[in-house]
Amino acid sequence: MKIIFTILVFLIPLCSIAQKTGIVSDVNYQMGYVYLKGAFKAKVLAENDLNFNLLTYLTTYLTKKNIENKEFESFDFKELEYFSQRYKYKKMVAYAEDFCVKNNLDQIIIIRKKNAYTLTDPMQMFYGFDHDFGIATLSMYDKRPILFYNFSLIKYLKGSNDFKILLSPSYKNHKFDDVVLDKENYRLINDNVLMYFQPVFETVLNKGLDK
């Protein structure tokens, strides 16, 4: 009976077990619109806020699932600086575990911006923006905007001694029938762009959070 109970526990999604969740982040929570000129090493000509806030969405999503949550600003992201280097893993796990214990948390959701790239990584194009996710347009493609999210969602469950990647940086584009940008004022002029991409982004987030 004990073995069966243990198996059942592991089959239950972690979000349904962990009731005290800390949210930590080093990203800009506000979705943005970025107007780019050029293709290779594209230049940012303008950035504007869009009406979507990542923290608001996450807290609302977790609250609806009856998961107590709180944002913390005291998390030291330097402790995750070498996330890709496995020999630093034990140190990072120890920091996350200690953070959970000190703040009486069952788990942490870590929103970490991408800060390292290979030479062939297409996500380099989205580095250095004021916004870490949003909609970008290239001046030469006035009907094909890009949804980008240049951050990872990472979960640490207290006592697990491991990090779980929920979402990795990526981008998606979509061709519209009409022009979507104003090349003189550097603004989106087609409301259908956000109406199309926001549900796509929310689906991506939900899929990650439900892992």
3-state secondary structure 32-75: EEEEEECCCCCEEEEEEEEEEEHHHHHHHHHHHCCCEEEECCCC
At residue 85, the pLDDT reads 61
Q: What is the DSSP string of 156-172?
A: EETTS-SEEEEE--EEE
At residue 2, the pLDDT reads 44
At residue 48, what are phi and psi to the nearest 5 degrees? -140, 150
At residue 20, the pLDDT reads 96
Using CA atoms, how far apart are residues 200 and 164, in angstroms rounded to an integer? Answer: 22
At residue 189, what are phi and psi to the nearest 5 degrees? -120, 5
pLDDT along the chain (211 residues), means of 10: 43 56 98 87 91 97 95 94 69 94 97 88 91 95 96 96 94 95 88 95 96 86
At residue 18, the pLDDT reads 52
pLDDT tens for 82-96 read 666 666 778 899 999
* Strand 68-71, strand 146-149: pairing: unpaired
Nearest to 20 by CA among 119, 101, 137, 121: 101
At residue 14, the pLDDT reads 46
pTM to 2 decimals? 0.87
Nearest to 22 by CA among 207, 113, 156, 165: 156
Find the helix packing angle between 192-209 and 54-64, rounded to 10°: 50
